[in-house]
């Protein structure tokens, strides 16, 4: 998650210098999520044949090497070549990330079948920690050492995790399901919950390429301080996830209310994030940070109950 979030404070500006417009930068961020979506479907179908541990280790390796390769892209010629290479490397990173995350959820569900939401909440602490540390670390390393160093350091750390997990993780033997993905998604409740998950992911994806450009232009912040703006979002997400996961496990009937209230809070926080022009409210830094905090909490509230709810419906 640090590798994923460290781009935010400085990459949009660097990409603009290389001839990429704001919309192209958004598409570069977006292709990661698109490839992750497509390959999650494919890898999820064949995870039993491939093996969760092997898929996790290969996904981790691909992400590490792609992070390092991304640090070399500033050497590429400006314009179409640079943009094309960004799409290629980012897409490959999406494949690695999808393998790692698909395997992670499978391992968690197999290891803790009766406490999925609680474990998901604990896992989101570390996801949130990655989101917390990524922007300030990326912004600081970029400001101090230049474009390449953040990617080289973070990519190397990811690659060092491969032999460590190779020794720690045990092999998980799954049972192939006879039900297809389409039969599962045809269940109305699961389809609705998946639509909510898609919307939540879109909200997070929307913030990645836009927040950096917005606060830099609006408040004239340096990359290191831009990373701190992301801190409020990630910190509220990380701190609230374990509690919400525990509540979701202990009281399953409140899951739908958590998702409903969280969704409305997302709408409210995004409406005030700019804020919306129709409100005629002056944009101030304290208000922007506050809305980022509320966004992180609301995304956790609506997102944490999703995984156990899908399992209970399947």
Q: How far is the C-alpha of 101 from the C-alpha of 1, rounded, in Å?
A: 11
Q: What is the pLDDT of residue 251?
A: 81
Helix (H) or strand (E) holding 17: helix 11-17
Residue 61 binned pLDDT confidence (cut-offs 50, 70, 90): very high
* Residue 165 CB coordination number (10 Å): 13
Least confident of 54-58, 77-81, 103-107, 135-139: 135-139
What pLDDT sits at residue 3?
A: 66
**What average pLDDT does the segment 68-77 reach?**
87
Torsion from C-alpha of 144, 137, 21, 232, nearest 10 degrees: -130
pLDDT in tens, 152-196: 888 888 899 888 888 887 776 555 555 556 677 777 777 787 777
Give the whole-angstrom CA distance, residue 110 versus residue 68.
Answer: 32
83 pLDDT above the threshold of 80: yes
Read off the pLDDT band of 266 (50, 70, 90).
confident
Residue range 113-147, pLDDT digits in tens: 776 666 766 676 676 667 667 777 777 778 788 88
Of 22-26, 92-96, 225-229, 271-275, least confident by mean pLDDT is: 225-229
Contact 212, 12 (CB under 8 A): yes
Q: What is the pLDDT of residues 206-234, one digit of tens each?
A: 776 677 778 877 887 776 677 677 777 87
Which position has the token pair 């909510």?
Answer: 196
Query: Residue 21: is its pLDDT beyond 60?
Result: yes
Amino acid 131: pLDDT: 65
Confidence check: pLDDT of 112 > 70? yes
pLDDT of 73 above 80: yes
Most confident option among 31-45, 90-104, 123-137, 205-219: 90-104
- How much is the pLDDT for 92? 92
- pLDDT at 93 > cutoff 70: yes
> CATH for 2-313?
1.20.1250.20
Q: Which residues of 262-295 are buried (b: 16+ CB within 10 A; e: fewer)?
A: bbebbeebbebbebeeeeeeeeeeeebbebbbbb
Q: How large is the average pLDDT for residues 50-69?
A: 89
The reported pTM is: 0.67
The pLDDT value recorded for residue 79 is 84
Phi, psi of 35 (to 5 degrees): -65, -40
Distances (CA, A) of 301 to 181, 197, 263, 265, 270: 26, 12, 8, 9, 15
Sorted by where each begins, the domain ranges of the chain are 2-313
Question: pLDDT band at 100, cuts 50/70/90?
Answer: confident
pLDDT of residue 281: 83
The first and second tokens of residue 250, run together, are 């202990």
> What pLDDT does 311 receive?
67
């Amino acid at each position: 998650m640090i590798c994923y979030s460290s781009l935010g404070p400085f990459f949009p500006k660097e990409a603009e210098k290389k001839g990429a417009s704001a919309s192209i930068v958004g598409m570069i961020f977006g292709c990661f999520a698109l490839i992750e979506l497509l390959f999650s479907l494919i890898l999820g179908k064949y995870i039993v044949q491939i093996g969760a541990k092997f898929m996790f280790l290969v996904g981790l390796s691909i992400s590490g090497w792609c992070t390092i390769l991304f640090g070399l892209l500033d050497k590429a010629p400006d314009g179409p070549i640079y943009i094309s290479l960004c799409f290629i490397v980012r897409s490959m990173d999406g494949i690695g990330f999808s393998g790692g995350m698909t395997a992670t959820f499978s391992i968690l569900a197999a290891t803790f079948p009766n406490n999925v939401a609680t474990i998901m909440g604990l896992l989101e602490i570390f996801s949130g920690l990655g989101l917390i540390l990524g922007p300030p670390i990326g912004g600081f390393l970029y400001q101090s050492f230049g474009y390449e160093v953040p990617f080289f350091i973070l990519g190397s750390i990811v690659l060092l995790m491969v032999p460590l997990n190779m020794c720690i993780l045990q092999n998980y033997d799954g049972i192939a399901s006879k039900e297809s993905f389409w039969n599962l998604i045809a269940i109305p409740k699961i389809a609705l919950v998946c639509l909510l998950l898609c919307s939540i992911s879109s909200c997070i994806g929307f913030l990645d390429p836009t927040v950096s450009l917005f606060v830099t232009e609006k408040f004239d912040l340096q990359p290191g301080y831009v990373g701190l703006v992301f801190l409020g979002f990630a910190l509220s997400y990380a701190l609230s996830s374990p509690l919400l996961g525990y509540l979701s496990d202990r009281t399953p009937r409140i899951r739908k209310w958590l998702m409903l209230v969280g969704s409305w809070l997302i709408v409210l926080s995004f409406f005030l994030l700019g804020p919306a022009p129709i409100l005629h409210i002056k944009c101030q830094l304290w208000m922007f940070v506050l809305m980022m905090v509320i966004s992180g909490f609301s995304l956790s509230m609506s997102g944490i109950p999703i995984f156990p709810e899908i399992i209970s419906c399947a």
